[in-house]
Amino acid sequence: MNSVSTQNIRFRNRLLKGVLVCVAAVAISTGAWAQKLNQVAFRPESVKRVFFDGNLQGEKFQIIDAASSVVFDGELTKSKYWPCSGTKVCYAEFSDLSNVGQYNLILANNTRSLTFDIKGDVYNEVGKAMMKSFYYARASMEIKPVFAGKYARPAGHPDNQVYIHESAASGQRPAGSVISSPGGWYDAGDYNKYIVNSGITTYTLLHLYDLFGDNLASFKMNIPESGNGLSDLLNETIYNLRWMLTMQDPNDGGVYHKLTTKNFCGMKMPYADNLDRYVVMKSTAATLDFTAVAAKSYRILKAYENELPGLADSCLKAARLAWDWSMANPKVLYRQPDDITTGAYKGDQIEDEWFWASVEMYLATGDSKYVSDININKTNFMLPQWGRVNTLGLYSVCTSETTNSLKELDVKTSKKKLIKLADHYLETYKHSGYRISIDKFPWGSNSELANQGILLMHAYLLTNNQDYLEAADACVGYILGANPLDRCFVTGFGNNSPMSIHDRRSIADGITEPIPGLLAGGPSKEARHDCGEDNYQSEFPALSYVDMECSFATNEIAINWNSAATFLILGLDAIYSSEK
């Protein structure tokens, strides 16, 4: 920490007079050049930056604690243009300041002052709320006041009478016949349930537990299963896993791509949507994603045979059956039937699903037949997203306890590949005006960023290089408010978070505040027709966001997005806690 000189004390005394006035002014300042920072609180170990208008470059700043002592003095960096926002930005950095407390930051010219907190349990608090959001999204179950307070609601979508759609018809299950497929989470702002997206979501949460189980063993979040001896992270994830298992046709092992109404329902509460629901077409992508998740579940849940009798074995059995179906149907691509208009989650390229499933089957069984076609060296690994999943397999390989005995998968090369992918994002982070690893803004850009954070965190775990950890942590700062929109993207946190998310429950429940702990998709230029171009005030991708219910392109929520941010924030919490 910088030392406090006499000169600085004089400087502080001059500025202190203006502190209270400035703090009040800042609270109402929402101008384009207001400071941007994590609006919730920094963790003591976090990278701590406050971003300002580039014209302020080089200005001196001081940080004053609650006892009015100057605890840090520094200088704003040189300003730099960030093409994603079309703005020049500079920042105050005070990462070395690590004592818990409330502080004021004051600029030398006395034009700006702001308060911020450093709090030990802040990541745990936000991460827990983000994980709890999955409980609120449970289908087929009443959400009770004792667990949900004002967000309690009657059960919706029992899904015990689901029709086999024509596209999914088979000998034993002809079109129009009925199956039961209750439970699971609603995908997003809509009430449908999609295996592909459930796949990456469930894996992400299972993998979080896999890596940080010691820290998360006693994780509690007041849900019906709390206190049953298992971490609530597992309890909640298993709610969706059990639904996924019902999506497999036991007659042949194939897995339905989705369970859905024919069209999106109106903006109503779950119990008010009584449209018929169908399972639609078995696809290889869905079946392979299912295989990977079921195999990973087996590995994790076999330690809990007493608490969950038979579940791990059922998962392995289901995984084998799904694998066999995929071998017999290696490239059945999802094609949206003409009478269905809900989310497609389709892709034409499924080598990455094959990679992921192969690796997870190998790790679950030790049988090398599953990886005989794998060539790590020749595989082009991609940042994870629902349609790009090979790096999920790479995570499992690089962090598996059995890693040293893997002969078929070259673990050394696997680690090199992971680090190479992470280096791309680390470089972007280092050179970015906003000190952030994202420079492209697809639909769900906040989740893209959270997945970059997860990748960077893995690189840190493999190398112990603090640069990766810092870049991962910057992703949390951005999500909590250190972004050009001055927006904390998690509902219920910060002083400027989304109030009008595209989420049927939050729209229809008559409660002003949206369900807490939900990550808004974030800026993107991909589908700006949703609210009409005129509502988007900027052509710059990082500013292309609107807090309006109509904005499914930028203000929707989704389980895969929430799981990525949950991993990032709870993972960092675990790393920081264990480094103490």
With CA atoms as reference, report the closest residue to 97 among 50, 161, 151, 155: 50
In the complex with ligand 9MR, the residue whose CB is nearer, 196 or 421, is: 196
- If one asks whether residue 549 binds ligand 9MR (CB under 6 A), the answer comes out as no
- If one asks whether residue 353 binds ligand 9MR (CB under 6 A), the answer comes out as no
SS3 of the chain: helix, strand, coil, percent, to 5: 45, 10, 45
Piece in contact with ligand 9MR (CB under 6 A), picked from 136-144, 417-425, 491-499, 552-560: 552-560
**Catalytic residue among 125, 166, 526, 547, which?**
547
Nearest distance in Å: CB 386, ligand 9MR:
6
Within 387-446, the residues that bind ligand 9MR by CB under 6 A are 443-444
- If one asks whether residue 558 binds ligand 9MR (CB under 6 A), the answer comes out as yes
Tokens of 10: 């004089």
Closest residue by beta carbon to ligand 9MR: 343
In the complex with ligand 9MR, the residue whose CB is nearer, 444 or 453, is: 444
DSSP annotation of 248: B
Amino acid at site 305: E
In the complex with ligand 9MR, the residue whose CB is nearer, 486 or 503, is: 503
Residue given tokens 């709320």 in the structure block: 129
Binding track, positions 294-333, relative to ligand 9MR; x by CB under 6 A: ----------------------------------------
Binding track, positions 443-462, relative to ligand 9MR; x by CB under 6 A: xx------------------
Within 22-41, the residues that bind ligand 9MR by CB under 6 A are none
Q: What are phi and psi of 60, to 5 degrees?
A: -85, 145
Piece in contact with ligand 9MR (CB under 6 A), picked from 47-55, 183-191, 364-372, 389-397: 183-191
Total of residues contacting ligand 9MR (CB under 6 A)? 11
Residues 6 or more apart in contact with residue 439 via CB below 8 angstroms = 83, 84, 428, 432
Task: Let me know how long the chain is.
Answer: 580
Residue 80: Cβ-neighbour burial (10 angstroms; 0-12, 13-18, 19+): middle
Catalytic residue flag (residue 458) = no
- If one asks whether residue 139 binds ligand 9MR (CB under 6 A), the answer comes out as no
- Strand partners of residue 104: 64, 115
In the complex with ligand 9MR, the residue whose CB is nearer, 4 or 344, is: 344
In the complex with ligand 9MR, the residue whose CB is nearer, 100 or 344, is: 344
Catalytic residue flag (residue 547) = yes
In the complex with ligand 9MR, the residue whose CB is nearer, 35 or 555, is: 555
- If one asks whether residue 543 binds ligand 9MR (CB under 6 A), the answer comes out as no
Nearest distance in Å: CB 562, ligand 9MR:
11
Contact status, residue 498 vs residue 561, Cβ threshold 8 Å: no
Binding track, positions 185-214, relative to ligand 9MR; x by CB under 6 A: --xx-x------------------------
Q: What are phi and psi of 442, to 5 degrees?
A: -70, 170
- If one asks whether residue 548 binds ligand 9MR (CB under 6 A), the answer comes out as no
Compute the distance between CA of residue 447 and CA of residue 330 in angstroms, rounded to an integer: 29
Angle in degrees, CA 520, 82, 74, rounded to 5: 100
**Helix or strand or coil: residue 487?**
coil
Residue 152: Cβ-neighbour burial (10 angstroms; 0-12, 13-18, 19+): middle
With CA atoms as reference, report the closest residue to 236 among 386, 309, 384, 128: 128
Nearest distance in Å: CB 114, ligand 9MR:
34
Tokens of 464: 């112990």
Catalytic residue flag (residue 486) = no
Name which position in 343, 453, 484, 517 contacts ligand 9MR (CB under 6 A). 343
Compute the distance between CA of residue 4 and CA of residue 62 in angstroms, rounded to an integer: 10
End-to-end CA distance of the chain: 19
Nearest distance in Å: CB 340, ligand 9MR:
12
Angle in degrees, CA 532, 538, 544, rounded to 5: 70
- If one asks whether residue 552 binds ligand 9MR (CB under 6 A), the answer comes out as yes
Q: What are phi and psi of 62, to 5 degrees?
A: -130, 155
**Catalytic residue among 45, 502, 503, 530, which?**
502
Tell me which residues are annotated as active site.
190, 502, 547, 556
Binding site for ligand 9MR (CB under 6 A): 187-188, 190, 343-345, 443-444, 552, 556, 558
